[in-house]
Amino acid sequence: MLVILKPDATAEDLERVLGRIESLGGAAEVHRPRQILLAVRGADINPQTLVAMSGVETVQPSAPGYWLASRRAHPEDTVVRVRGRSVGGDHPPVLIAGPCAVETEDQLMRSAEAALEAGAQMLRGGAYKPRTSPYSFQGLGEEGLAMLARVRERLGVPIVTEMRDAATLELFQQYDMDVIQIGARNMQNYEILRRAGKAGRPVLLKRGPATSVEEWLMAAEYVLLAGNPDVILCERGVLPPASVATRYQLDIAAIPIVRRLSHLPVIADPSHAAGARDLVVPLAQAAIAAGAQGLLVEVHAEPCQALCDGRQALEPGQARALMENLRRHGYVPEPAPAASGLVGARVIDWRPS
Ligand code: PEP
Ligand code: MN
């Protein structure tokens, strides 16, 4: 059971509620700082005995393990702002694009230019790559963060990059990385989630390939509970049955489901779901049609030379074609302003009736 106190509840209100819970044989854990949440255990307490107390906003007898991420707690859409770009709400879908990994400054710069020419509003590239094999390219580490910071200087584009290990948070802050990605493998790494909650910058939280929508929202709850309200959820495909030919299976239904359950913006990554560049465009279309508020797409200046995920990276011309395709299908109006993202895209009405 969760007891949520009003933002203006006093210390006396909190003491009285804690006292009542204890007098009924229960125990409560207090969670700050965003809102006071009491997780109540150990007793069969009737919620009605708490709900009318001074300072209590609501009692959730069967909270699904998340509250701050839920639409019940926050009926309006959250809009995450990153250096003047907006993700979520009724804002048109954003395009976040770039190479899987930062390899060299020249490769990063040329891939970034290709992404921006296609209309990307944010540049994404990994300096720390979580790889299945320890022999695969692991990323340039701090040198990669420095390159990302320099390319941002030159092109004026915000950076999204993955934090693979909680111990590197200070470096991400030092290089002022704009958005911290938490990769699919780390979605349930609770230390990273808590640290990202104190990072003072937005978090892009990928869904683990073997996790439910509820587990994904509980992961977001860790970040929100630690004090960071700016979480962007990213659907990147779940484990496919053997009969499915793609790398993962983009869970299209999860997009409207999450938008119903949560106020947080949700974007889709068709690149990792597909694992093959020729499937990126149709999956991107499907995701936006289902209500995705943005796309995360891998774009590389020379995919055949890529050290990581080259098969799924769009070539520069294909990245432009992706935009043209979305425009042709009505997701982006004619004429699209140059290099400003999917401005004016059709906004899908996803709201539950
Ligand atoms: C990535 O974003 O490059 C990546 C490794 O993706 P995921 O965490 O979804 O596997
Ligand atoms: Mn990748």
What is the pLDDT averaged over residues 245-259?
97
In this predicted model, what pLDDT tens digit does every residue of 82-118 receive, in sequence order?
Answer: 999 999 999 999 999 999 999 999 999 999 999 999 9
Confidence class of residue 39 from pLDDT cuts 50, 70 and 90? Answer: confident
Percentage above 70 pLDDT, the chain: 93
For the sheet containing 37-41, what is the strand order? 27-31, 37-41, 2-5, 56-60
Q: Are 311 and 274 in contact (CB under 8 A)?
A: no
In this predicted model, what pLDDT tens digit does every residue of 272-308 receive, in sequence order?
Answer: 999 999 999 999 999 999 999 999 999 999 999 999 9
CB of 169 closer than 6 angstroms to any ligand 1 atom: no
CB atoms near residue 153 (< 10 Å): 9
Please tell me the distance between residue 246's alpha carbon and the centre of ligand 2 in angstroms: 15
Dig out the tokens for 341 from the structure: 């993202």
Please tell me the distance between residue 228's alpha carbon and the centre of ligand 2 in angstroms: 26
Least trusted range by pLDDT, from 63-77, 165-179, 224-238, 288-302: 63-77
What is the pLDDT averaged over residues 19-37?
84
CB of 300 closer than 6 angstroms to any ligand 1 atom: no
What is the pLDDT averaged over residues 118-126?
96
CB atoms near residue 235 (< 10 Å): 28
Q: Whose CA is nearest to atom 9 of ligand 1?
A: 184
CB of 100 closer than 6 angstroms to any ligand 1 atom: yes
CB of 236 closer than 6 angstroms to any ligand 1 atom: yes
Q: Is the pTM of this model over 0.85?
A: yes
Q: Are 122 and 157 in contact (CB under 8 A)?
A: yes
In this predicted model, what pLDDT tens digit does every residue of 54-86 receive, in sequence order?
Answer: 999 999 887 778 999 999 999 999 999 999 999
Q: How far is CA 167 from CA 78, 171, 195, in A?
A: 28, 9, 9
**Ligand that comes closest to the CA of residue 296:** 1
Q: How far is CA 261 from CA 76, 86, 185, 198, 258, in A?
A: 12, 21, 23, 24, 5
* Domains in the chain: ranges and CATH: 2-60 (3.30.70.1140), 80-328 (3.20.20.70)
- The pLDDT, as a whole number, for residue 97 is 97
Please report, as a single letter, which amino acid is at residue 227: G
Using the structure block, give the residue that is written with the tokens 């770009």.
85
